[in-house]
Every structure is written in C-alpha cells, then in structure tokens.
Amino acid sequence: ISCKSTTSPSQPLPVGLVDKCVGSRIQVVMKSDREIVGTLLEWDDFVNMSHQKEEGWLN
C-alpha cells in the first residue's frame, strides 16, 4: 500500500489516505521542523496518531 501524497504539508490529508497508511512507515514533519519516522499504528477523530517510533530527529 502506498501512502505517498502529493498534497502540500499545509493541507490536511484526506481521511481515506490516512486509513490506508495504518501499518505503514510514515514521516511526520511538525510545524517546528521536528521530523518523526515510524510505523503508523492508529489514529483518532482528532488526528492524534499512535506510532511505533523508529527514528526521530530535529532539523
């Protein structure tokens, strides 16, 4: 399953795309430029995400 999106980082992802990404490796880039790479385990209606952290770093 591919979770690649062509939307810009400032646009929210469609719910269907986020659902397809559960169980996949994702990269989250925060507004503070912090990046987290991990496996998406679950998410809720408020887009709180639970993931298995594999890597994390600050830019």
Closest CA to 1 of 12, 13, 16: 16
- Which stretch of DSSP H or E encloses residue 15? helix 15-21
Q: What is the pLDDT of residue 19?
A: 85
Domains of the chain listed by start with CATH number: 15-58 (2.30.30.100)
Q: How confident is the model at residue 1 (pLDDT cuts 50, 70, 90)?
A: very low
Q: What is the pLDDT of residue 10?
A: 63
Q: What is the pLDDT of residue 36?
A: 82
Q: Over the stretch 7-29, which tens digit does the pLDDT of each residue have? A: 555 666 677 888 888 999 888 88
d(CA 54, CA 39): 7
Assign residue 5 a region (left: φ > 0; alpha: ψ between -120 and 50; beta: otherwise).
Answer: beta
Closest CA to 51 of 14, 43, 20: 43
d(CA 22, CA 9): 19
Lowest mean pLDDT, pick from 5-9, 22-26, 29-33, 35-39? 5-9
